[in-house]
Amino acid sequence: MPGVRLAAVVDRDADRAADIAARHGTRALGSIGDLPADLAAVTVAVPTSAHAVVVEECLGRGYAVLVEKPMAANLQDAERMVAAARRAGRLLCVGHTERFNPAFRAAAPRLREARFIEAHRLGVFTARSTDVDVVLDLMIHDLDIVLSSVRSPIAAIDAVGVHALTDKVDIANARLRFENGCVANLTASRISAERVRKIRVFTRDSYVAIDCAQQEAMAYTLRRGASHPEIVREAIAVTAGEPLDAELRAFAERVRGGDAPVVSADEGLLALRAALRIVDQIRLVGS
């Protein structure tokens, strides 16, 4: 990235730190305390359960922080992180990378006044992120997109989930009803035979289909002609790109004092609250 220098890689596993540092021409360090004081920003990509401790230490040292989603495994940790950022007067952003997907960005202006949203996020099984339920691992991507699009409080949640390969929920479905009348139906699985990342949004006068994996988006609108109405299909122009790259560039610009759009700590907390409500509902139904 132009204008950014990778100063160090920190990992408790010395061999892993050394391997990654060597690949990127930087230093390998064993603890946050070894980082230089004049660092501008850090990315926190440790397991979710360790986010709060690492983020608080980094903020306390005066660094701006981008933390992977979900921002924490529980509300108490997340609220501690938000409070630490306010005390330090430092930027804290959450890595909801799908918000930077070119297909979603291109379609976002058309998603106002959504009435019904359906999202499917299916992934093949990996051992990564199995320290949390699939709701916090995968569904939270779509929760963030829905919440940023609908911008209305959640009135009610119905949810079910299944334990399949781990001691956490691996497949989940949630139906969210918002105070403004919008309904969202979200499905997430991390034991699918295929990868799917699709969102469909129905507004008052159109239907928008977004394929986040293929970075494609289509809009369908009703044209009322003199003789009979017809459905008009329009491909939404999408400039392909790597969402993680766009996210990191936006974060770097904000660290420099720019106004690039990022996912704030408050937005990350909002998505986490919704995700944990879904997890609680699944446990209630399963008990």
CATH class of the structural domain 98-240+271-286: alpha beta
pLDDT of residue 166: 74
Would the CA dihedral through 105, 170, 184, 202 be positive or negative? positive
Taking residues 26-36, report their average pLDDT. Answer: 94
Say whether domain 8-96+246-264 belongs to CATH 3.40.50.720.
Answer: yes
b (16+ CB within 10 A) / e for 219-238: beeeeeeeeeeeeeeeebeb
User: Does residue 285 register a pLDDT over 80?
Assistant: no
Which range (138-142, 231-235, 241-245) has the least confidence? 231-235
User: Given this chain, do its domains 8-96+246-264 and 98-240+271-286 carry the same CATH topology?
Assistant: no
Q: Please report which confidence band the pLDDT of residue 125 belongs to, taking 50, 70 and 90 as the band edges.
A: confident
User: Does residue 128 register a pLDDT over 70?
Assistant: no
Q: Are 66 and 251 in contact (CB under 8 A)?
A: yes
Amino acid code (one letter) for 242: E
Q: Please report which confidence band the pLDDT of residue 223 belongs to, taking 50, 70 and 90 as the band edges.
A: confident
Scanning the structure block, which residue is given the tokens 């160090």?
Answer: 8
Helix (H), strand (E), coil (C) string for the chain: CCCCCCCEEECCCHHHHHHHHHHHCCEEECCHHHCCCCCCEEEECCCHHHHHHHHHHHHHCCCEEEEECCCCCCHHHHHHHHHHHHHHCCCEEEECHHHHCHHHHHHHHHCCCEEEEEEEEECCCCCCCCCCCHHHHHHHHHHHHHHHHHCCCEEEEEEEEECCCCCCCCEEEEEEEECCCCEEEEEEECCCCCCEEEEEEEECCEEEEEECCCCEEEEEEEEECCCCEEEEEEECCCCCCCHHHHHHHHHHHHHCCCCCCCCEHHHHHHHHHHHHHHHHHHHHHHC
Taking residues 71-79, report their average pLDDT. Answer: 95
pLDDT of residue 71: 94
Domain segments of the chain as ranges: 8-96+246-264, 98-240+271-286
pLDDT of residue 188: 95
**133 vs 264: which has the higher pLDDT:** 264
Taking residues 175-181, report their average pLDDT. Answer: 97
Taking residues 96-109, report their average pLDDT. Answer: 96
**Percentage of the chain modeled with pLDDT above 90:** 78
Q: Please report which confidence band the pLDDT of residue 151 belongs to, taking 50, 70 and 90 as the band edges.
A: very high
User: Does residue 8 register a pLDDT over 80?
Assistant: yes
Kindly report whether the global pTM for this prediction surpasses the value 0.85. Answer: yes
pLDDT of residue 261: 94
Which range (16-20, 146-150, 168-172, 247-251) has the least confidence? 168-172
Amino acid code (one letter) for 236: I
pLDDT of residue 168: 79
